[in-house]
Amino acid sequence: MDRKPGNILIIDDDRDILLSARIVLKKQFGNIQTETDPGKVIPRLLDNSFDVILLDMNFSTGATSGKEGLKWLREIRKADPGSHVIMMTAYGDIDLAVKAMQEGASDFIVKPWENQKLLATIINAYRLHKSSIEIQELRNKQDLLYHDMDLQFSEIIGGSSRLKLVMDSVNKVAKTEANVLILGENGTGKELIARALHRASMRSDEIFVSVDLGSISETLFESELFGHVKGAFTDAREDRSGRFEVASGGSLFLDEIGNLSLPLQAKLLSAIQNRVIHRVGSSKQTPIDIRLISATNMPVYKMVQEKSFREDLLYRINTVEINIPPLRERKDDIPLLSRHFTEVYSRKYKREGLKIDNVAIQKLLDYSWPGNIRELQHVIERAIILSDSPTLRSSDFLITKQTGSVTATTGFRMKTVEKETIRQALEKNRYNISKAAEELGMARTTLYRKMTKYGIS
């Protein structure tokens, strides 16, 4: 058995007991400390972190009630709520054991002990303590991740009248439990609005789960959304919760809902209507409690007329409807957005202080932005990557006023813009993959994959 780097504290007024316990435990744990006076323990807890504390139940001569031990157990738990305390006594009183466990003890051992029993009890408590720490660290990381994700989506930039109308709707509906359908072209910020709804809702302290329905295949739809049990299909090696279960208590954002086929629409409607789901391979009903937010860039009302989108599903998901205007209809926001993205990407690429001049802003205003905010964001990032000047100028932006499109150098599609950005970054860095990847803000493996995708060599 490997020696564990644990800190163990033993508290007993009998020095022979302390010596005996130390001998048993020292071969398995890195640091064994002892104390005869329980009154000195609390100050030690302020300076030390112990994985396991072994505490006697009685300290006064002739005492057998265990009240002293319970008192010090409460004091230790008050000073260190995460401590794992094992009580020990020479009297095997089951009621006393139950009382100790109710007060927060991890376990209970009777003196005189069997050495293997003592060792096994301490090791179990040690493992439990380490697991508790790992779980808390995982939760902290998860909370930080959600916080960081929200920060990425926290700012809705702009002051145009069209955007103000959208935000008025968000503020009105957020505090309700109404299902919301967000309509808008690609790149207009539908997920931003969904997250804004969640942050302003009564569920803001709970989880926000985003699902891109357009990226889920027909065969995996039920497993991804509703979960599955072990053995339900070939690759189901363990039970797994679906997105509905994970989001229960919080908000579920179903993006690209207009891409669902009619059979999948029927399954989704059933879950929304009944507020229960069945994991794949199980007949057990699992209740769900979600705030549903959906979004699409598809013409769903036309799709209802064409019988490609269920009317009953549409009216389930759009208790309130929010329409996000395209960027060409809120051009007043372009200067604010442009300066915001310039600041964001100048920090990312260590170009602090980089500015964008007024002539460049006017060029951006003259463009129609078919890719909306996402395209603007990409164009500014690309300009910052490829420009060596402390000021972004009109010539840094490869867009044209006449056609409202990206120039022939970069083509009409955002994929072509990305390909040209990668090619120019490689040429600038003389095809040093590491330097080009760093400048582009992506991993080497990602850059290699994109080079293969675009046929760049």
175 closest CA partner among 153, 197, 159: 197
Q: Which two tokens stand for residue 147?
A: 């916080």
Any idea where the domains of the chain sit in the sequence? 4-134, 162-325, 328-454
Instruction: Give the C-alpha distances (Å, rounded to integers) separating 383 from 379, 394, 423.
Output: 6, 10, 14
> Do 276 and 225 meet the contact criterion of CB atoms below 8 Å apart?
no
Q: For 74-102, write each residue's pLDDT tens digit.
A: 988 888 888 899 988 776 666 777 788 88
Does residue 369 carry a pLDDT above 60?
yes
Does residue 138 carry a pLDDT above 80?
no
Does residue 406 carry a pLDDT above 80?
no
Q: Which two tokens stand for residue 333?
A: 């926001």
> Do 340 and 334 meet the contact criterion of CB atoms below 8 Å apart?
no
Does residue 291 carry a pLDDT above 80?
yes
Lowest mean pLDDT among 165-169, 173-177, 301-305, 410-414: 410-414
Does residue 360 carry a pLDDT above 50?
yes
Q: Which two tokens stand for residue 224?
A: 């991804």
Measured CA to CA, the distance from residue 218 to residue 192 in angstroms comes to 27
* Residue 102: per-residue pLDDT: 85
- Hey, what CATH class is 328-454 in? mainly alpha
> Do 34 and 18 meet the contact criterion of CB atoms below 8 Å apart?
yes
Q: For 383-401, write each residue's pLDDT tens digit.
A: 999 888 899 999 999 886 5
* Residue 400: per-residue pLDDT: 64
Tell me, yes or no, if the pTM score tops 0.85: no
Domains 4-134 and 162-325 share a fold: yes
What confidence category does residue 3 fall into, taking pLDDT thresholds of 50, 70 and 90? Answer: low
B/e letters for 10-45, b = 16+ CB within 10 Å, e = fewer, are bbbbeeebbebbeebbeebbeebebbeebeebeeeb
Does residue 407 carry a pLDDT above 50?
no
Measured CA to CA, the distance from residue 2 to residue 329 in angstroms comes to 68
- Hey, what CATH class is 162-325 in? alpha beta
DSSP string, 146-174: HHHHHHHT-------HHHHHHHHHHHHHH
Rounded average pLDDT over 334-355: 92
Q: What percent of the chain has pLDDT over 70?
A: 89
What confidence category does residue 408 fall into, taking pLDDT thresholds of 50, 70 and 90? Answer: very low
> Do 112 and 92 meet the contact criterion of CB atoms below 8 Å apart?
no
Per CATH, the homologous superfamily of domain 4-134 is: Response regulator (3.40.50.2300)
Does residue 402 carry a pLDDT above 80?
no
Instruction: Give the C-alpha distances (Å, rounded to integers) separating 193 from 108, 162, 188, 408.
Output: 54, 14, 10, 34
Does residue 411 carry a pLDDT above 80?
no
* Residue 25 DSSP SS3: helix
Does residue 412 carry a pLDDT above 50?
no
Rounded average pLDDT over 184-213: 92
* Residue 134: per-residue pLDDT: 76
* Residue 145: per-residue pLDDT: 54
